[in-house]
Amino acid sequence: MSRLTQFAALTAAAAVAIALAGCSAEGSDAASGAVTINYSNFISNGGNEENLDAIVAAFETENPGITVNVTTLPYADYFTTLQTDLAAGTQADVFDIEYANFGAYVRDGVIAPLEEVDTSVYRTSLADAYSSDGAQYALPSSFSNVVLYYNADLFDAAGLSYPTSDWTWEDEKAAADQLADTAAGVYGDYQPISFYEYYKAVAQAGGDFLANDGKSVAFDSPEGISAAEWLVGKSGTVMPTPEQGAGTPDFDSSLFLDGKLAMWHSGIWMFGALADASFTWDVAVEPGDAQNASAMFSNAIAVSSSSEEKVAAQAFAEFLTSSSTMVETRLNAGWELPPVSDDSLLAPYLEKGAPANRQAVFDALEDVALPPIVTDGQTEMQDIVTEELTEAAAGRKSVDEAIAAAAERVDAVIG
């Protein structure tokens, strides 16, 4: 029985019981069987508040026994407020979470395991990200991911075939070498040298970033070395160096828009910024080495473990994350991508114009690399990896030295 059906049954039963009892409190919530749930979010802040209101209104129309009170906060304030509410026990019945916090919420028991969820309505990798020990603790509400952008005009001029989902690092490197043109100021490739690119590259090489215990690193391995060499080896060859501007804000997007960059690893959130590009461009699934592994970022909805209205709260969470109303609203508004598995619902997105291969956005979800999360020292871990890779890219350390130093420093922080 779904959450919506279960809530309807409970409401109907309550109404029958009240009628039989001849209760005089007919106008009260208790008499009507109606409930109110509170939803705290950051996902709609900054321009999508009315879109969220439309989804809530549709839910309330389909479920007249439930009223949803919405609180919207800026992303910068949201998690501080949520932590305060969790400490005080005043959190909403339903609230937004990010993958980075998911494990801590499960560990601390502040989110409830969901009952009888049909996870087949979601993309598998998205739903799996929010399960733990066989239980579903949250539902994905949206996602973004990283793809390989390419300048088709530059490929055509060089007589090269476009990237495909079958490409490997070797294919990408061979194309980048041929497309780089120092005299014309054209670079063959761009991929930031950072923690967020490195953990993904380790997965693409067939390795693990963290050991199984989550309290020590595993990237000081042949696969981890290979991943670092892949990233660092681009700098100063097919990719600009920091001295040439790499790593500065908007440098890579400006370079691509100027037609001076053949390939570019970046997120799908850049589609809009490229709408007026003066050349033909498209995207493909990022190449891997031993395997494909694309970076995926997502938001999710969780039900508070202390909520007194878990059935109604879960019904709302399911509607907010999987209903056709939600899908249509998000696609029409360009408001991140819905996490649903039904390709027919997503067909309008595939027809929105450039890039032509929007299907790559969904294909990339077949093999994902989730960011490694640790209980303590998350920010420090990320900074250390980026710092050591930067040292290697600058030639101040060898790749072996940089990875060994990163492993030692990260182990000291997270162990």
How many Å apart are CA 31 and CA 19, to the nearest integer? 9
| Cβ neighbour number for residue 226 with a 10 Å cutoff | 19
pLDDT reported for residue 401: 98
What lies within 8 Å, CB to CB, of 356 at 6+ separation is 282
Measured CA to CA, the distance from residue 56 to residue 142 in angstroms comes to: 16
Could you tell me if residue 203 is left (phi over 0), alpha (psi between -120 and 50 degrees) or otherwise beta? alpha
* Residue pLDDT tens, the chain, 415 long: 445 444 444 444 333 333 333 332 333 344 456 999 999 999 999 999 999 999 999 999 999 999 999 999 999 999 999 999 999 999 999 999 999 899 999 999 999 999 999 999 999 999 999 999 999 999 999 999 999 999 999 999 999 999 999 999 999 999 999 999 999 999 999 999 999 999 999 999 999 999 998 899 999 999 999 999 999 999 999 999 988 989 888 999 999 999 999 999 999 999 999 999 999 999 999 999 999 999 999 999 999 999 999 999 999 999 999 999 999 999 999 999 999 999 999 999 999 999 999 999 999 999 999 999 998 899 999 999 999 999 999 999 999 999 999 999 999 999 8
Per the structure block, which two tokens stand in for 110? 């502040």
Predicted confidence at residue 9, as pLDDT, reads: 45
Contacts of 350 (CB under 8 A, 6+ apart): 358, 359
pTM of the model: 0.87
d(CA 308, CA 265): 45
Evaluate whether 3-142+297-350 and 145-295+363-414 have a shared fold.
yes
pLDDT value, residue 258: 97
3-142+297-350 is a CATH 3.40.50.300 domain: no
Domain layout of the chain by residue ranges: 3-142+297-350, 145-295+363-414
On whether the 145-295+363-414 domain is CATH 3.40.190.10, my answer is yes
Is residue 405 packed enough to be buried (19+ CB in 10 Å), middle (13-18) or exposed (0-12)? middle
pLDDT at 247: 86
